[in-house]
Homo-oligomer: A and B are copies of this chain.
Amino acid sequence: MSSRQKADHGSEAAVTIYDTTLRDGAQGENVHFSLPEKLRIVQKLDEVGVPYIEGGWPGSNPKDLMFFQEVSRLSGRMSRIVAFGSTRRASLSVEQDPQIRMLLDAGTETVAVFGKTWLLHVRKVLRVTPEENLAMIRDTVAFLKACGKEVIYDAEHAFDGYQDDPQYALDCLAVASEAGADWVVLCDTNGGSLPERVAELTRLTRQKVRSRVGIHTHNDGDLAVANALAAVQAGATQVQGTINGYGERTGNCNLISTIANLEIKLNRRALPPGALARLQELSYFVDEIANLAPNPRAPFVGRCAFAHKGGTHVNAIGKVFRSYEHIEPEIVGNRRRVLVGELSGRSNIVLKARELGLVLREDDPRTREALQQIKAMEGKGYEFEAADASFELLLRRLLLPYPSFFQLVEYHVSIRSFPGKEYEVSEATVKLSVKGRTVYTVAEGDGPIHALDQALRGGLERFYPELARVGLRDYKVRILGQMGGSGAATRVLVESSDGLTSWTTVGVSTNIVEASWEALVDSIEYWLLRLERSSGAPRSPTS
């Protein structure tokens, strides 16, 4: 059975995906979600068809109750929202325990509670007897069932607990199941288990309990996904994880990789038809909301996942598409990329140019010249892999020299702080030559780059009024190389948009303002050039 066949379901049991990006994922370093952001993520997950979404832990973060209130107002939702909590406190009855009360106040159909499975924790962290812990599990699950909830029981430290005292761990699982838990989820809370151990306990649990069995892994051993797949193959039918693997320490099981593997390699349905092709979109969406840079090397959905650099590979790819790709990129919403870089051969340039709609032959001397220019600029820090628009301008300047739309005469940027005041003022003046005329503009901004951008556009918009549609969407700065002082080369990537499409340009200099200037100028030139090409005639600036 070729691994390349489209997901062909029906032969194996479906797997239920349980997303805890908003709860466990939010425990990751540098991951925070505001309430509106959480709601946007819920909507996206629901659209894609994720069946369970764990939204928060009201007993630990009381403001999570607001999330549950708001999310219940979202209409047309199919996913089940889950409130998370823990077994009752030792000293309280379940009815008296305020955090159980808050769990109920969340008003969800489904709740998830975690309890101790490891004697070490029972004795040293909870400081109760083994029997008391069992009672805590039993009382909590039974109570929540009696309240009409679907109950998911998370057995914390299941694998460490089983290793330490197998009988006690199984007793904990059995008690939860007998009390009515709809699911018993084995959690590798420390994240250090190996797939064989995970499969073993999963198999055993399936034999011992009536509840359906789930798996919740962490990536401390770099094996979170492997462990989840091993559990599924041993009979688990629920996988808990997060989008992009966010979470405490090294993160949770990455649902993106897991869903892709389940559907494409193991023939298990995990999401509704059509969802698989939205995996990259889902991955980027959550990264954007979390304000985290996407991992370019992320399996399946990363920008590099189907990016080919070495000359041999690119040559072969041209011949047989399956050669160096384990699946077709489009299956998960990704696409093939040919990288232009140091190891590039001319075939890379030709293929890249073709991607951009330019016809270029390998034996054309300009191809070699383009390659040399690219290598020289990359040596200085330019990065064309992300800055497609700058690369396209480079090729166009070589192949189809175009008249310049404007030229810089000079610019001046000034930042001044004020004694005793909490603000500073950034001002930029830009002097341009546009079709023989001198234009001199001044503008202020929130910072030097903003001021420069405003001044540049202010000067050009009277000549090219369409520029009003173009705006900066994103701006990335990277200092290249270690530093002695702030003197290392700075690379700036600017993403611009006209509301319909977006494009990225690059600039490099030891001076961040100069690097930004380069990227801004490329951005505007690129768009004006495109405007000219689509109108069919060279643009003369409005006088």
Contact = CB atoms under 8 A, between A and B. Distances in A.
A310 interface: yes
B192 A424 contact: no
B482 A479 contact: no
A60 to B, nearest CB: 7
Interface in A471-514: 471-488, 490, 509-514
A385 interface: yes
Given A163-B2, A323-B125, A450-B510, A288 B482 contact: yes
A191 interface: yes
B250 A192 contact: no
A297 B156 CA distance: 22
A306 B61 CA distance: 23
A447 B251 contact: no
Nearest to A379: B32
A340 to B, nearest CB: 11
Given A249-B308, A299-B219, A339-B29, A511 B446 contact: yes
A3 interface: yes
B448 A195 contact: no
Q: How large is the interface on A (under 10, 10 to 19, 20 to 34, 35 or more residues)?
A: 35 or more
Contacts of A3: 163, 192
A410 interface: yes
A124 interface: yes
B265 A194 contact: yes
Nearest to A301: B250
Copies of this protein, total: 2
Given A124-B320, A249-B305, A490-B447, A291 B481 contact: yes
B312 A60 contact: yes
A257 interface: yes
B415 A299 contact: no
A27 B343 contact: yes
Interface string A26-46: 111110100000000000000
A102 to B, nearest CB: 15
Contact of A513 (B409, B448, B475): B448
A230 to B, nearest CB: 8
Nearest to A428: B415
Contacts of A257: 221-222
Interface in A500-542: 509-514, 516-517
A484 to B, nearest CB: 6
B512 A485 contact: no
Contacts of A120: 320, 322-323
A219 B295 CA distance: 13
Contact of A221 (B265, B445, B512): B265
A254 B445 CA distance: 45
- For A220, A257, A378, the residue with the greatest tally of chain B CB atoms inside 10 Å of its CB is A220
Contacts of A229: 194, 223
B485 A450 contact: yes
Interface string A177-218: 000000000000111111100000000000000000000000
A125 B245 CA distance: 37
A411 to B, nearest CB: 5
Interface string A391-417: 000000000000000001111111111
Given A60-B312, A413-B415, A447 B512 contact: yes
Contacts of A261: 194, 221-223
A395 B530 CA distance: 54
B476 A479 contact: yes
Residue from A221, A325, A517 whose CB has the most chain B CB atoms within 10 Å: A221
A154 B299 CA distance: 24
Contact of A477 (B163, B416, B479): B479
Interface string A299-323: 1101011111111110010011011
A500 B533 CA distance: 58
Contacts of A298: 250
Query: Which has the most chain B C-beta neighbours within 10 Å: A163, A193, A511?
Result: A511
A151 interface: no
Contacts of A511: 415, 424, 426, 446-448
Given A226-B226, A471-B485, 20 more contacts: A3-B163, A29-B304, A29-B339, A30-B383, A125-B320, A220-B300, A221-B225, A221-B326, A223-B226, A249-B297, A249-B308, A249-B324, A291-B482, A413-B415, A426-B513, A445-B486, A472-B485, A474-B482, A474-B483, A475-B483
